[in-house]
Amino acid sequence: MERMIDGFARFRREVFPEQREVFEQLAKGQSPHTMFITCADSRVMPEMMFSAQPGELFVYRNIGNIVPPYAQHVSGVVAAVEYAVKVLEVQHIVICGHSDCGAMKALQHPGKLDGMPSVQSWLKHADVAQHVTAEKCAHLHGEDYLRCLTEENVVAQLEHLRTLPAVAVGMARGNLNIHGWIFDIPDAELRAFDGAEGRFIDVPVSGHPVPQASPMARFRIARGHGGLRSPR
Ligand code: ZN
């Protein structure tokens, strides 16, 4: 714990004084623009990766960056998404997977989960990805198969995300966008799921639009129809 306490002391001494005004403002409330759902893996550090300031990202982490589909049994991540959309009114939700993910490796080699019934049960929410990958990427092996599985898991979780009523309404109104990303640890590269192309592409350098996983506009409920209020 000494490492943690030393780190906090350094934060108070070196970082906090420079950000004092930001923290004073944030003491009154938060208004993050993005909910970022990623793996609990210690190598994925959202605030560091996106040079984000306090208050910018509403981060939720779990094993395998999973969002269970809408159901009677409520999970923590589903409740957090609802809160982020309805109360914080985030404009974006990102589901971000990563390279060398232990959860994805466990799906690839189910024997690794022996003796871990809770993890085994949790990863059932990635069954779709496992089955689609077995079909789509049967010709691939090792790292390439893992990469395919990691991508399919992000797509599967995006589909689950869309089953949450708050997300579906936000997207129908056109004021909530969803994104599926994968962070490559050794090269610090980001790939994004392009919903229009149906595949992952490298995130272009600054100044270009980021690929969106949200469905095309024609799937949205037209404004002024269907009883939806106008977007903010
Ligand atoms: Zn992981």
C-alpha 129 – ligand 1 centre gap (Å):
14
Task: List pLDDT tens digits, range 138-197.
Answer: 999 999 999 999 999 999 999 999 999 999 999 988 899 999 999 999 999 999 999 888
Which CATH superfamily is 31-229 part of?
A: Carbonic anhydrase (3.40.1050.10)
* pTM (two decimals): 0.90
- Confidence class for position 222, pLDDT limits 50, 70, 90: low
Nearest in space to 53 (alpha carbons), one of 85, 14, 89, 26: 26
- Cα 87 to averaged position of ligand 1 atoms, centre (Å): 28
Q: How far, in Å, is the centroid of ligand 1 from the Cα of 196?
A: 26
Domain with CATH 3.40.1050.10 in the chain: 31-229
**How far, in Å, from the CA of 212 to the mean position of ligand 1?**
22
**Residue 184 CA, ligand 1 centroid: distance in Å:** 11
Pairing type for strands 34-39 and 177-184 reads: unpaired
Tokens of 142: 């090792």
Q: pLDDT (tens digit, 9 = 90+) per residue, 48-106?
A: 999 999 999 999 999 999 999 998 888 999 999 999 999 999 999 999 999 999 999 99
pLDDT band at 205 (very low <50, low <70, confident <90, very high): low
Q: Distance, CA 228 to ligand 1 centroid (Å)?
A: 38
Q: Report the first-to-last Cα separation within the chain, whole angstroms.
A: 46
Q: Is residue 208's pLDDT more than 90? A: no
